[in-house]
Chains A and B, each alone.
Chain A
Amino acid sequence: MSAPGDAPLLEVRDLEVEFRIDGHAQRAVQGVSFTLHRGRTLGVVGESGCGKSVTSLAIMRLLPQPPGRYAGGSIRFDGQELLELPEREMRRLRGGRIGMIFQEPMTSLNPVYTCGDQIIESLRQQSGLDAAAARARAVELLDLVGLPSPASRVDDYPHQLSGGQRQRVMIALALANDPDLLIADEPTTALDVTIQAQILDLMGDLRRRTGAAVLLVTHDLGVVAQTCEDVVVMYAGRIVERAPVAALFADPQHPYTIGLMAAVPRIDAAVGRLETIPGTVPPPWARIAGCRFASRCPLATDQCRAEDPPLRDLSPGHGVACWRAPIEAAA
C-alpha cells in the first residue's frame, strides 16, 4: 500500500493506548501499525469499542490524560515524532498541517462564535493573515465547501445552520490552512444519506484538489468501499486485517472481516438471511493470551486460543492477523 521510495506522511508503529479506570489499566489500542502516504485515503473500520476513534484521537494527541495513557509505540508525522512534540507545537499542527473533522459538528464548533469567526481565528493564528484577508479567505472557503450564500452565512452562528451545513463549516475550518493530513472521525454518521453523499463527494473533490492525505474513521463498510484506497479493519483494539480496498472486498481473509461483510444487508443485492457473529466483543480489561476473536471464531484452534497471531502479509500489502489464513487452506 505504499508508493515505493516515497516517505509516508503518517507512520503509526506499535501504538499502545491504555485507559486507567477504577485503578485497572485497560488496553484500548494494542500494537496498531499503519502508514499513510500523501494523496491517499485510508479507512479505519470497526464496530464500537474496537479502538478506531481512540487511534485517531491518539494521533492528534487529543486523548484525555488521565485516564488515557500512551503505553508505547510511535506516531511519526512527516518524519517528526508526535509523541515527543511539546504541546505548544502540537497545537500549531492541529488546525494547521493536520485538519480534523468530527461526527457532531455542533459539539466541535464553538456555539458563541460565528462560523466565520472560528475560521478567521484559525487563519490568523496559523497563517498570520490580517483581519480583512482572513475574512475574505473564510468566505472563499465556505464557498468552496458549497455553503449557500457564503458572504452572509459567514456571520451565522452554528445553531442557525442545518446539520449538513454545519459539517460543511467544519470541513472549511479543517481545510483553512491547507492541511497535509485530514483526520475525519465518522464525518457523515450523523447525517442523512442524501447529505452524506454530498459531504463524501465534497471531501473526495477537495482531496483531489489539495493532495491532502485522509484518515477516515468509520463503522460503515459502504463508506469505506466508495471513498478509500486502503483500509484497516480493527477488532478489540487490534488491527485484524489491512489491505487495499479492492483486495479487502474481493478477498476478505480474517473471519471477523468476513462476518462483518456478511452481516450488512445490501441495497443492491438480495442476501438472504443475514449472517451473525455469535458471542460478543471481549471487554477491554479481559486478559486474552491468544487471538481476541478466537472465542467467536468457528475456525479457532488451540493455537488461536494460546498465541496472539501477528499481522502478516498474505500478498503484497494485504496483511491478516489470523493463524488460519488463508482460509481456503483451512477447509
Chain B
Amino acid sequence: MSPVLRVRGLTKHFPVRRGMLRRVVGTVQAVTDVSFDLAEGETLAIVGESGCGKSTIGRSLLRLIEPTSGAVSLDGEDVMALDARGLRDMRKRMQIIFQDPYGSLNPRMSVAETLAEPLRLHGLAGPDDVDAKVAELLETCGLQPWHAGRFPHEFSGGQRQRVGIARALATRPRVIVCDEPVSALDVSVQAQIVNLLQDLQAEFGIAYVFISHDLAVVRHMAARVAVVYLGRVVELAAASDLFAAPRHPYTRSLIAAAPRPDPDAPVDRQQVAGDLPSALAPPPGCAFHPRCPMAEARCRIDRPELRRVGGSEVACHFAERAPDRSPAVERTRSDALRKRLAVLQAARDNTAEDAAHA
C-alpha cells in the first residue's frame, strides 16, 4: 500500500541575523534530513525533548513554515510544488492541532463560526446544511449542540482541545498533525482526548503525525516512533520494538528517565549528563556524543547515518551493542487496581441499565 504521506530529506535551517545590516551570522539547524512514510490510518509519533525540532517538522509538513529543502508528498501530490490555491486545497486533506488551541482559535469567533469557516471555504457545506454539519462535528468530538454559540474563553482546556479537533476534522482530512495535543491537560482530561483521537482514527481512518515529549502517551498511541535529537531522527522503529529493545542510547535514556507510576518498578537510570546542546552549533560527529554513556573517539568525528539494524533504523555506530533488555521492564497494573476498576465499571453498567429501564 502506498503511504498517504511521504517525507524525504526534510530540512529547515533558520538563518540567524545580527547587527544593523542584518547579516547572517549563523544557522539554527532546526531540522535536518528527516524522512519517513505514514500509512493510511496509522499513527507515527515524533518524540524528543524541547528544542529538538519536532514542532518544526510538524509545521514544515503543512508548509506553515517553509522548509529549506526536502520533499513532502500527500497522496502522491508534491506539496512543495503547490501554489497558494493548491496549498489551501492540500490543507483540506492535511490538518494540524496544537498544544494550546487557545492560541489558534479566534477569540472573537463563536465555535459555530470557527467550525463553519472551513466547511464553507472548502465547499463542504452550504447555507442550508451548515448548522447541521456543525452540530454533527460537535457531537462527534464529544461536545453539546449548545456549545456552538460559545466563545473559546468559555471553555475548559479539554473542551477547547475538542473544539480544535472538531475544526481539524471539519474538512475530513486524511492526515492530522497533532502537535503535543494533550501535554497541557490534566491526566483525567488527557485520557478523554487520547480516547477521542483513537476513536476518530478508527471511525474515519485518519493518519496521525503525533508530536509529543511524553513516551507513555506515545507508547499508548503510536504504531511507529521516530526519536529526534537536535533536528535529526536518531531512531525510527515500530513502537513495540522501540519500547522492548531501544537501540539508540538516547532512546534508552529517554525511556529510562520517564517516571513510572509504580513504586515497585525497578529504576534503571542510565542517566544522560548535561543539557541539550545548542542547535546553532551542534557538536561535531554524533550530536549526542557529549551526553552519551557509550561514546568513543569515533563518535566525536564521524556522524553516524541512519541505518537498518534488525527491524529498526538507528543512527548509532554501536547500535549492535545495545543490550537486549529494555529499560522499560514490563509491568502490569496492580491486582487491586484491576479489581477495583471492575467494581467501578460494574456499578457504572448497573446505573446505565437502570437508566435504560427507567
Beyond A192-B276, A251-B336, A260-B187, whether A266 also contacts B261 by CB under 8 A is yes
B263 beta carbon closer than 8 Å to chain A: yes
A268 engages B213 (CB within 8 Å): no
In the complex, residue of chain B having the shortest beta-carbon distance to the beta carbon of A161: B275
What chain B residues lie within 8 Å of A220 (beta carbons)? 259
Partner of A225, one of B259, B274, B346, B347: B259
In the bound complex, do residue B275 and residue A262 qualify as a contact, i.e. CB atoms below 8 Å apart? Answer: no
Give 1 or 0 for each of B189-226: 1 = CB within 8 Å of chain A CB.
Answer: 11110110010000000000000010111011100000
Taking a contact as CB atoms under 8 Å apart, the answer to whether B265 and A225 are in contact is yes
Residues of A contacting B64 in the complex (Cβ-Cβ under 8 angstroms): none
User: What A residues does B190 contact at CB under 8 A?
Assistant: 263
Q: A258 interface residue, CB < 8 Å from B?
A: yes
Least Cβ distance of A201 to chain B in Å?
7
Number of interface residues of A (CB under 8 A): 57
Which of the residues B259, B274, B330 comes within 8 Å of A269, measured between beta carbons?
B330
Please give the distance in Å from B55's CB to the nearest CB on chain A: 14
When the two chains form their complex, are residues B187 and A263 in contact, meaning their CB atoms are under 8 A apart? yes
Question: Given A225-B260, A263-B187, A267-B219, is A252 in contact with B336 using a C-beta cutoff of 8 Å?
Answer: yes
* B331 contacts A by Cβ under 8 Å: yes
| B166-188 CB contacts (< 8 Å) to partner A | 186-188
CB distance from A187 to the nearest CB of B (A): 13
Q: Is the CB of B260 within 8 A of A273?
A: no
Cβ contact within 8 Å between B260 and A267:
yes
B334 part of interface (Cβ distance < 8 Å): yes
Q: How far is the CB of B38 from chain A (nearest CB, A)?
A: 21
Residue from A258, A264, A268, A276 with most neighbouring chain B CB atoms (10 Å):
A268
Are B191 and A222 in contact (CB-based, < 8 A)? no
| Shortest Cβ gap from B211 to chain A (Å) | 14
Asked whether, in the complex, the Cβ of A197 is within 8 Å of the Cβ of B257, the reply is yes
Residues of A within 8 A of B269 (CB): 197, 201
**Contact pick for A298, options B243, B273, B274, B344, CB 8 Å:** B344
Interface size class of B (residues with CB under 8 A): 35 or more
Contact with B along A93-128 (1 / 0, CB 8 A): 000000000000000000000000000000000000
Closest approach, in angstroms, between the C-beta of B199 and any C-beta of chain A? Answer: 10
Of B221, B267, B328, B343, the contact of A327 (CB 8 Å cutoff): B343
Asked if B301 is at the interface of the complex by the 8 Å CB criterion, the answer is no
Task: Give Cα A66–Cα B181 distance, bound, in whole angstroms.
Answer: 36
Measured in the bound complex, the distance between the Cα atoms of B255 and A263 in whole Å is: 20
Once A165-B275, A201-B269, A298-B348 are accepted as A-B contacts, the answer to whether A225 and B220 lie under 8 Å apart by CB is no
Residues of B within 8 A of A330 (CB): 343, 347
Residue of B nearest to A330 (CB): B343
A8-45: CB near B (< 8 Å → 1, else 0) gives 00000000000000000000000000000000000000
Q: Which residue of A lies closest to B269 (CB)?
A: A197
- Let me know if A271 is at the binding interface, CB within 8 A: yes
Inside 8 A of A201's CB, which chain B residues have their CB? 269, 271
Q: Are B262 and A276 in contact (CB under 8 A)?
A: no
Quick check: is A250 within 8 A (CB to CB) of the other chain?
yes
Q: Report the bound CA distance from A183 to B101 in whole Å.
A: 33
Q: Of A165, A268, A274, A331, which contacts B260 at CB under 8 A? A: A268
User: Which secondary structure dominates where chain A touches chain B?
Assistant: helix
**Residue in chain B with minimal CB distance to A224:** B261
A80 to chain B, nearest CB (A): 33
What's the Cα separation between A223 and B333 when bound, in Å? Answer: 17
The interface residues of chain A lying within 8 Å CB-to-CB of B50 are: 163, 192
Whether A277 and B347, one on each chain, are in contact in the complex, defined by CB atoms closer than 8 angstroms, is: no
Q: A264–B187 Cα gap in the complex (Å)?
A: 6
Knowing A261-B261, A277-B188, A328-B343 are in contact, say whether A269-B332 is a contact too (CB < 8 A).
yes
Within 8 A of A (CB), among B125-158: 156
Give Cα A245 to B328, complex, Å.
Answer: 21
Which chain B positions have C-beta within 8 A of A158? none
- The reply to whether B344 and A299 form a contact with Cβ atoms under 8 Å apart is yes
Q: Is the CB of B259 within 8 A of A252?
A: no
Check B253 against A194 for contact (C-beta < 8 Å).
Answer: yes
**A280 on interface, CB distance cutoff 8 Å:** yes
**A64 within 8 Å of B by Cβ?**
no
CB of B330 to closest CB in A, whole Å: 6
The answer to whether B263 touches A298, judged by C-beta atoms less than 8 angstroms apart, is no
Which of chain B's residues have a CB closer than 8 A to the CB of A245? 263
Q: Contact at A223–B217, with CB atoms within 8 Å? A: no
Q: Is the CB of A250 within 8 A of B195?
A: no
Closest chain-A Cβ to B243's Cβ sits at a distance in Å of 7
Among residues of A, the one whose C-beta sits closest to the C-beta of B253 is A194
Instruction: List chain A residues, Cβ under 8 A from B339.
Output: 328
Cβ of B341 within 8 Å of any chain A Cβ, yes or no, is yes
Residues of B with C-beta under 8 A to A331: 343, 346
Q: When chains A and B are docked, how far (Å) is the Cα of A91 from the Cα of B15?
A: 48
Closest to B351 in A: A298
- List residues of A (225-264) whose CB comes within 8 Å of B's CBs: 225-226, 245-246, 249-253, 255, 258-264
A192-B50, A259-B344 known, 8 other contacts, Cβ within 8 Å: A47-B186, A162-B275, A193-B49, A222-B260, A267-B243, A267-B255, A273-B198, A274-B220
Listed A/B pairs (28) with beta-carbon separation below 8 Å: A165-B275, A192-B49, A194-B49, A194-B257, A195-B275, A198-B271, A201-B271, A219-B187, A222-B258, A252-B336, A260-B187, A261-B333, A263-B187, A263-B190, A264-B187, A264-B261, A265-B194, A265-B217, A265-B219, A266-B331, A268-B265, A269-B333, A273-B198, A275-B191, A298-B347, A299-B344, A299-B347, A328-B340
B contact set with A: CB distance below 8 Å: 49-50, 156, 186-192, 194-195, 198, 213, 215-217, 219-221, 243, 253-265, 267, 269, 271-276, 328-334, 336-337, 339-341, 343-348, 351
Q: Which 4 A-B pairs have the closest CB atoms?
A: A222-B259, A265-B220, A197-B257, A298-B347
